[in-house]
Structure formats: C-alpha cells, structure tokens
C-alpha cells in the first residue's frame, strides 16, 4: 500500500501499451505514460471542462503529438481498433460494466486496468465472464480510504467464491483484511437474526478473512 491511486495505476502500464484512458479527468495517467515512452494514447472524458484542463496539461508537457483528447461517454464515440489497453478509474462498478459491455469494441483490447469505487465482487464476476483474468491487484490507502486497482489481461480464469469476493490472497494486505474483518463483524451485529441468508453470507466472509489472518 505504498502507492497512491495514480502511482498504482501508472505502475501497471508500460511504453508498449496503446491506451484509451476513459474518464481521464486532467490526464495525469496519460501524461505519465507518455513520459515513459508510450507513442499512442487517447484521453477521453464525458465532461468538456475536465477535458479542456487535460488538453492544457498535455500542452504544458509538450505531449500533444502523443496524447489525443476526445469527448465521449465511455467508448460510445471511440474507435478501439488501434488500441490494446483500457484504463478506467474512479467510477462505480455499474458504470464500468456499462462502458465495457460492448463486446465489439472490446475485441482489440488485451489489457484493462480498473479502479472501481464499489461492488468489487460484482466487478470481478463481470470481468471474469467477459474473458479477462486477474493478473495483479494493488490496494492503496489514500485519505483514510482503501482503493483496489486491478490489472486484467484477456484470458480465461476460474475463480473461487472467495477470490471473487476479495481477490487473491496477498501477505502484505493484512491491514486491509483487518479493515474488512472489522467492517463485516460490525455489520453482522446489526443484522437481525431472522435475516438468516444475510447473516450466513457475512459469517462466510468473516471466516475467509480470519483464515487469511492466520497465514
């Protein structure tokens, strides 16, 4: 958890990636990648104001010949043919799923980096069904919040329920597991006993996390 979100995302990119940076905001990820030597980057955003700031930042860094900007709602106006990587960060899972639901536009894409603000099990399940396998997950603690950045590559992968819920076990994430454990234990105390299914699901998560804490 030594990174902030921007550093974590950038650490998963390399100069050979031809990137569509969706929801680029001020284009910091695109700029970092271009400085690493990437030759083809498309920075997109649904908000014109944010994209104008992105353009200014790109020009300030002298990277306008490498980074192209485009106003778009997700991939709606984007030709993905000559790209192999997508970055989507800072959105909710339902939005990410909507953006990536177009199979035709996903065809050329071999690598996807996502950072969702919620519903990670749902996101992992969707990406798994879409034919993308988890390669790496980075959890960062930024401004007292934990964020998970996931690197996917096009491949088949069979995940257990525990892996869909929490990702793969990482020894260095004990602080994160402690946080989740306390969260679910607190929720369990507040769930009425008649909510049998809900309590069973919470107890299963707690059991998984307790097992990891002993590893």
How confident is the model at residue 27, as a pLDDT? 92
Listed by start position, the domains of the chain span 5-157, 169-215
Q: Edge to edge, what strands does the sheet with 41-45 contain?
A: 67-71, 41-45, 19-22, 85-91, 111-116, 145-154, 132-142
Give CA 136 to chain center in angstroms. 11
Residue-level pLDDT at 4? 86
Q: What is the pLDDT of residue 3?
A: 60
The secondary structure of residue 172, as a DSSP letter, is G
Q: Report the predicted TM-score, pTM, of the whole model to 2 decimal places.
A: 0.92
Can you list the residues of the chain whose pLDDT is less than 70?
Answer: 1-3, 215
Whole-number pLDDT of residue 36: 87
pLDDT at 82: 93
Q: Which residues of 19-50 are buried (b: 16+ CB within 10 A; e: fewer)?
A: bbbbbbbbbbbbbbbbeeebebbbbbbeeeeb
Long-range pairs for 57-60: beta carbons < 8 A, 24 or more residues apart: 57/26, 57/27, 57/28, 57/31, 58/27, 58/30, 58/31
Render the burial of 120-142: b for 16+ CB within 10 Å, e for the rest.
beebbbbbbeeebebebbbbbee
Write out the E strands in 8-66: 19-22, 41-45
- The CATH number of the structural domain formed by 5-157 is 3.40.50.150
Confidence (pLDDT) at 213: 77
Can you give the pLDDT at residue 215? 65
Please state, in angstroms and as integers, the Cα–Cα distance from residue 182 to each residue in 3, 138, 188, 190, following that order.
23, 21, 10, 13
Answer yes or no: are the C-beta atoms of 114 and 149 closer than 8 Å.
Answer: yes
Please give the pLDDT value at position 179.
Answer: 94
Among 156, 102, 148, residue whose Cα is nearest residue 122: 148
Closest C-alpha among 66, 20, 62 to residue 43: 20
């Amino acid at each position: 958890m030594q990174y902030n979100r921007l550093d974590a995302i950038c650490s998963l990119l390399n100069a050979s990636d031809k990137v569509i940076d969706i929801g680029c905001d001020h284009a910091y990820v695109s700029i970092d990648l271009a400085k690493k030597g990437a030759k083809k980057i498309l920075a997109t955003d649904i908000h014109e104001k944010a994209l104008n700031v992105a353009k200014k930042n790109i020009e300030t860094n002298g990277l306008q010949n490498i980074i192209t900007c485009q106003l778009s709602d997700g991939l709606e106006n984007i030709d993905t043919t000559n790209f192999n990587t997508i970055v989507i960060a800072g959105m909710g899972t339902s939005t990410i799923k909507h953006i990536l639901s177009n199979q035709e536009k996903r065809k050329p894409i071999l690598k996807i980096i996502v950072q969702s603000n919620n519903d990670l099990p749902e996101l992992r399940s969707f990406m798994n069904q879409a034919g993308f396998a988890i390669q790496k997950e980075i959890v960062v603690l930024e401004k007292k919040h934990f964020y998970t950045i996931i690197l996917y590559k096009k491949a088949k992968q069979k995940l257990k329920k525990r892996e869909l819920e929490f990702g793969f076990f990482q020894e260095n994430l004990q602080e994160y597991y402690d946080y989740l454990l306390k969260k679910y234990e607190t929720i369990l105390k507040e769930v009425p006993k008649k909510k049998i299914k809900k309590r069973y699901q919470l107890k299963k998560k707690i059991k998984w996390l307790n097992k990891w804490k002993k590893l």
